Amino acid sequence: GQNIDQPTEMTATEGAIVQINCTYQTSGFNGLFWYQQHAGEAPTFLSYNVLDGLEEKGRFSSFLSRSKGYSYLLLKELQMKDSASYLCAVKDSNYQLIWGAGTKLIIKP
Amino acid sequence: IAGITQAPTSQILAAGRRMTLRCTQDMRHNAMYWYRQDLGLGLRLIHYSNTAGTTGKGEVPDGYSVSRANTDDFPLTLASAVPSQTSVYFCASSDAGGSYNEQFFGPGTRLTVL
């Protein structure tokens, strides 16, 4: 079966750095997405990786290792507004997104 | 309209009733999707449409039907609602084809079936 694993919840301090991991087992691979979802709102796109390596976008970076079935989202200089759930999703061989359950990130002052 | 809209925002429904959730996008995206999101589970695909006039079944299609008469609209119908269909429903759209096509999400419909 297809599976996306990510931690259920993480806590970090304002101004710090946090890394959210995602491991996946899917039938085929056509890219990995990270989305942010604030409570009660819709998911919004953060990043996309299809080749191995690090993609940086401001305070957020995303890393992919296809051989290991592994990705992480790195958030730097954490702000209170970063408190949200972070969803990892893989596009499979049918170009459909398979979603992890999400990681709830709690930022403390 | 800007992006994707969904209606209603929330609904309480008696079991056995028929319900249609509406979704409209103005981005001229070819592909549209319906997901449900339940606590502790990832988004699960119900149905999708790669282009107007075509639809496909996702991971959890039972009890739901869709139609895609034009590019903009993608309604989701529950023919006879059951309590297990209590969930938050998200509609999404994207350009079809290829690997890199991010999905844009509507604000969601919170449905409670009693």
pLDDT tens digits, one per residue of A18-76: 999 999 999 999 999 999 999 999 999 999 999 999 999 999 999 999 999 999 999 99
For residues B20 and B18, give the distance between their C-alpha atoms in angstroms, rounded to a whole number.
Answer: 7
- Residue A2 scores a pLDDT above 90: no
If one counts every other C-beta atom within 10 angstroms of the C-beta of residue A28, the result is 12
Which pLDDT belongs to residue B1?
53
For residues A51 and A29, give the distance between their C-alpha atoms in angstroms, rounded to a whole number.
Answer: 11
Which pLDDT belongs to residue A107?
97
Residue A28 at interface with chain B, using a CB cutoff of 8 Å: no
For residues B84 and A53, give the distance between their C-alpha atoms in angstroms, rounded to a whole number.
Answer: 41
Name the closest residue on chain A to residue B99, using Cα atoms: A30
DSSP 8-state class, residue A93: T
Q: Which residues of A touch B29 (CB under 8 A)?
A: none
Structure tokens at B21: 């959730």
Query: B5-9, B36-40, B61-65, B85-89: which has the minimum mean pLDDT?
Result: B36-40
Whether B105 sits inside 8 A of A98 (CB atoms) is no
DSSP 8-state class, residue A82: G
Q: Give me the phi and psi of B83, to 5 degrees please.
A: -55, -30
| SS (HEC) of A46-73 | EEEECCCEEEEECCEEEEEECCCCEEEE
Closest Cα partner for A60 from A43, A48, A42? A48
- A87 close to A99: Cβ distance less than 8 angstroms: yes
For residues A38 and A40, give the distance between their C-alpha atoms in angstroms, rounded to a whole number.
Answer: 6
- For residue A48, give the nearest of B100, B104, B105 by CB distance: B100
- For residue A91, give the nearest of B99, B107, B108 by CB distance: B99
Over residues B34-49, the pLDDT tens digits come to 999 998 888 999 999 9
Q: How far is CA A73 from CA A28, A32, A57, B15, in A?
A: 21, 11, 11, 41
Which pLDDT belongs to residue A59?
96
Q: Give me the phi and psi of B75, to 5 degrees please.
A: -75, 150
Work out the pLDDT band at B99, boundaries 50, 70, 90: low
Work out the pLDDT band at B86, boundaries 50, 70, 90: very high
Which pLDDT belongs to residue B42?
86
